[in-house]
Structures are given as C-alpha cells and as structure tokens.
Structure 1
Amino acid sequence: MAARIFRRSKNAMQSGTAREGEWVLEFESHAPRRADPLMGWSGGTDTQSQVILTFDSFEAAKGYADRYGIAYHLVPPAERKLKIQSYADNFR
C-alpha cells in the first residue's frame, strides 16, 4: 500500500484560494482500471484509491503515514509563475 503526499494547488477555474495550502495523502491504485461492459465507464476493484486524506501541514501527513506504516513519496509543490503584464503591453 503506497501513497503520495502533495500540496494542493490553486484551482485554475476559480480565482479563490480556498484549500490551496492543504497537504493531501492519496493512495495509489494497484489494480488496473477496466471499462464496464454495459455502460462503458471505467472502474476498478481497488477501493483504497478512493481514499483522500487532507492535513494542515506536511509534518502531519508524514506523521500519519509513519504511524500507520504507509509507504509514501513526496511530490514537491509546483512554484507559481506570475506573468506580470499591463494592458498597455498589448499595443507595443
């Protein structure tokens, strides 16, 4: 049972920053996903991959994984790249 720990980023579809700084522990799927023959939806038998735990800090997420013997790897947070420009730049 392996998991990955990452920091949630800002939602690109909204301007708000709610839940931006949360750390997430998400279990990786070990069983392949398969298409349902009747509906065509993809699904699997691994219910552990549906579990997503959120924490306030990386140390709390790491402590939880260590306490319960969960192997994990850290996905480093992506740096935000701000492109500062003004409306006048459109006419240069």
Structure 2
Amino acid sequence: MFDGHVSNQRSDTLEGRLVNSAVYQKSWLNDQDLMSRIYVYGIANFYSEFLNGTKVAVSGVCFTNKRETLWASLGLAVHTIGVFTCTQSMVKAL
C-alpha cells in the first residue's frame, strides 16, 4: 500500500470563450419543380485561459497542469432539403 501525502497547492483556472457562427442558405427549383434548399453552418470557438492552472504535490513531487493561453475549435455542417412542391405563386414570393 502506498502511503503518499497529496496536497493541493494551487487550483486557479478561469477560462473565457468567444463564439462566432455563420449560416448560409440557398434555395432553388430542381428538375422536378421541387424546392431544394441547402444550409451550411459554421462555428468557431476561441478559448483563453486567464489564470495559472493547477498544481499538486504528491509525496513532495510537484505536478502542474496549465492549458495553452489561447486555443480554438472549428465546426462545419451541411444540411439539404429537397421535398417541397413549389407553385408559380411561391416562386414569385421568393
């Protein structure tokens, strides 16, 4: 059995997040006179760590965990719809 002493020396973290998203939509009549649509979604997340992270000591050996100061994630989705019957009056409204 290991009888080590664990002490939390620092547990400071403050994470900020900035999100930016965009949506693009296009509609058209296909060859069967059905309304077709495509949606394209994009998202960008930007993260920032403002504090010093965490530090723990196990039997006198220090371990630290600190994230990068700035990092990002990206996402993209595409969705299509092509099942709407379209009349001439609907086309004029578009």
- TM-score, normalization by structure 2: 0.24
Please state which structure has a larger fraction of its residues in strand.
Answer: 2
Higher Rg: 2
* TM-score between the two structures when normalised by the length of structure 1: 0.24
